[in-house]
Amino acid sequence: MAQATSYNIGEVQGARQDLSNQLRRVAPEQTPMYATLNQSAAPKALFTEWLVDDLGLPSYDSPILDGSDLSFNADFTNEIANRVRIGNRVQQFQRQSSVSPIAEMIDVAGPQASLLAASKAKVLVQLKTDIEAALGSTQAPASAVTTPGSEKGDLMGGFFHFSDPDATTGVFDTVAKQAFRSIGSGLAQDGTAASSRFDMTTNGSITEANFRNLLQAVYEGGGKSQTYRLFAGPSLMNAITDYSRATNAVGGSQARFDADINGGSIRLSIVELVTDFGIVQVIPSLFLNRSSGAGLAAAGRNAGALVPADDTVSLKVLSPISVKDLPDVGGGGDRFLTRTILTLCVTNSRAIGSII
């Protein structure tokens, strides 16, 4: 006997669909670096520059003899000679979208009745993730390409370019500029090599000793103890949290501590480190050291950007984020674009650190 069942009653036979007015983005959208970096003076050209200088080494073992005359040339110094102009290019970030007239009128599921409004909200989020990924990238600054078929605008240099102690292109394309790169090598307290960059891909997970050596190198390069923000990928976050885990802190000759578990909860997350060289605020991030157009990979999971909380690293914004509605030429629909123009300014690359 033929029977109507839930399996043979489809849309043709009148079965209704159940589609709720819910819409959930399934991709990360937090942009902590863009949200927390200080803003400095707006740039006034496509290439914005700043001066860097150094100090001579201390000298105290050959004081001038009382009553001696100074030689006109030999005994005077040019204190301006080592100044170098460091700079970055200003980059335009832009996304655009369109909704046809009928699509804007029909009833669709979702929390927003207007597809145009929903499109604007989504594009704004995407624009911020574009900016965040560029800030935390290895991209070197480059001038616009005007070759037909290959046109693209100016590119700004990202944080992991500024923090590369071996960079010889982009910002550090001359020997004079290379003298102001991040600290590439030195000695830690235990006599091991200390650098302001640690490579987790080459050297494995970063230990507490490795992290302290990195902080020491940054302190020696920057010259002062201060508060830092460490933007950290998920693998790096896990490694730092392990510094305080009971499995690592108890046993052998290591320190012991008491854990207060009143209420039945144990805190396993580190949000701030008090170190010998300053306080480090740890901020998780999913947009560090990514390639353009690529998802989160090992390079991003391991990445860390150690940034002083002052204006050593800042954003120079020529034009803030804006939404511009475009004329409906030809009646094809509502069009708009979102745009911002900015660059990254790092006034002292010796005072920053990176983990890759």
Position 16 scores a pLDDT of: 83
At 1 the three-state DSSP class reads coil
Q: For residue 166, which amino acid is it?
A: D
Give me the CATH number covering residue 295: 3.90.1690
Q: Across residues 145-155, what is the average pLDDT?
A: 91
Residue 248 clears pLDDT 80, i.e. is over it: no
Could you tell me if residue 93 is inside a domain? yes
Position 249 scores a pLDDT of: 47
Could you tell me if residue 65 is inside a domain? no
Could you tell me if residue 9 is inside a domain? no
Give the least confident one: 46-55, 197-206, 315-324.
197-206
Position 9 scores a pLDDT of: 83
Q: Across residues 264-289, what is the average pLDDT?
A: 82
φ/ψ region of 46 (left if φ > 0, alpha if ψ in -120 to 50, else beta) reads alpha
- Specify the number of domains making up the chain: 1
Give the whole-angstrom CA distance, residue 246 versus residue 269.
13
For the chain, list the strands marked E by DSSP.
Answer: 38-39, 47-52, 84-89, 91-99, 197-198, 228-232, 272-275, 278-284, 304-308, 313-326, 334-346, 353-355
Could you tell me if residue 72 is inside a domain? no
Position 294 scores a pLDDT of: 83
Contact by Cβ (8 Å): 131, 34: yes
Domain that holds residue 219: 32-54+83-250+276-355
Name the H helices within 108-263: 115-135, 159-162, 175-178, 200-203, 208-222, 234-241, 246-249
Could you tell me if residue 13 is inside a domain? no
Could you tell me if residue 2 is inside a domain? no
Structure tokens at 141: 């600054």
Position 187 scores a pLDDT of: 46
Average pLDDT, the chain: 87
Question: Can you tell me which residue has the tokens 């480190």?
Answer: 273
Could you tell me if residue 268 is inside a domain? no
Could you tell me if residue 62 is inside a domain? no
Position 255 scores a pLDDT of: 46
